[in-house]
Amino acid sequence: MTTASPRLSVIMTADGPLCNGPISLVAAAAKRVGQGVEIILIHSSDEPSSEEISRKYSDFVIIRLPGATALPGLLAAALARASGDIIAITDATCEVAEDWMSEVLKAHEAPHPVIGGSVEPDGLRHIVNWAAYFCDYGQFMRPLREGGASELPGNNMSVKRWVLDHGKEFVAPQFRKAYWCRRLQAEGIRLHSAPSIVVYYRKSFGFVPYLLHRFHNGRCFAGIRLRELSRLRRAFYVAAAPALPIVLTARMLRRTLGKRRHLSELALSLPISLLAIVCWGLGEFCGYLTGPGVSCGHVR
C-alpha cells in the first residue's frame, strides 16, 4: 500500500543551528490547515542538531548539512527530498503569518505554477538591517499588486511540483532562484504575486558582513551568467558595470518610495543602502571580469 503524497511540503532553511521561534510558527500554521503537510527543516552547521528541536518536532524532516553549505545547496537538497504536490519555501530569519499555509494553498487553487508573497519588515532596530531589507525585499513590501510579476522573494515563494522539471540546471545541484525564474519566463511560464501570503522579515546583519554579503552575491550572480554570454556580450557587461549602482539605486527607490511606508527608515538607511549597492556592483564587475571565484560558496 502506497502513502499518498502530501498536499504541501514546506521548506525552512537556516544558516546555522535551527531556532525554535520561527519553527513554532510554521508548526502552528500547519496545524491550522490539518493533515497533508510535510515540513522540512534544513540547516548548515558543523554542530549536531539541537536535541530539543529534534524531540519537539520529531514528525518533521530535519536535515543538517556541513556548515560550509551555501543557501543554494540547502535548497537543492530540500527540493530533492520534498514530496508534496505544492512546495513552499521560507527561512528561519522570517516569521510566517498565522494564515501563511492556508493562503499558499488557496493561491495554488489557481493554475499559477510559481507564486510569491509579501515580505514585511518586523522588529528591525538597526539601520543596517533596514538597508538590507530595502535593498533585498523592499519591492515586496505591501501594498503589493496581485498578478503577474517579474521577480519573487526567495524567502516567500511556492511552486507546483511539475514546474521543477523546467530549468533543471538551475534546480540541482544548486537551486539558483533568480536564474531559474528567468528560465521559466523565457519558456513562457509566468510568475505570480499573491500579497495575501505574508512573511515578516527579521534578519540581522553586522555592517561589514552585510557589505561582504552583497559583494559575494553580486559576483556569484555575474559569474554564473558568464555561461550564457558571448565574448562581446561579456565585454559589454564589464564596460557597463560602473553605471550599475546608479541603475540599481534608481530601481530600489522607484519600487519603495511609491509604497509610502517606512520613509524615515528608508532615508536614514539610504547611505548604507548606497554602499551595499556599490558592493553589489563591484561584485558583478569582478564576476564578469574573472568569474565567480569563491563567492558562490558565500551566498546566504
In a domain, 176, yes or no: yes
Query: Would 184 be classed as within a structural domain?
Result: yes
> What pTM does this model have?
0.93
Going residue by residue through the chain (300 aa), what tens digit of pLDDT does each one get?
446 789 999 999 998 888 888 889 898 888 888 889 999 999 998 887 778 888 888 889 999 999 889 999 999 999 999 999 999 999 999 999 999 999 999 999 999 999 999 999 999 989 999 999 999 999 999 999 999 999 999 999 999 999 999 999 999 999 999 999 999 999 999 999 999 999 999 999 999 999 999 999 999 999 999 888 898 999 998 999 889 999 999 999 999 999 999 999 999 999 999 999 999 999 999 999 999 999 999 888
Number of domains making up the chain = 2
| SS3 of the chain: helix, strand, coil, percent, to 5 | 50, 20, 30
Residues 168 and 248 both lie in one domain: no
Assess if residue 1 is contained within a domain.
no
Short-list 221, 234, 235, 236, CA closest to 282: 221
276 DSSP assignment: H
In this structure, the answer to whether residues 34 and 143 fall within a common structural domain is yes
Domain end, chosen from 160, 180, 201, is at: 201
Q: Which of 201, 233, 253 is the last residue of a domain?
A: 201
| Containing structural domain, residue 280 | 207-298
Domain boundary among 177, 201, 225: 201
Q: Which cell numbers in the block locate residue 66?
A: 556541513
Residue for grid cell 529534534: 54
Q: Are 93 and 222 contained in the same domain?
A: no
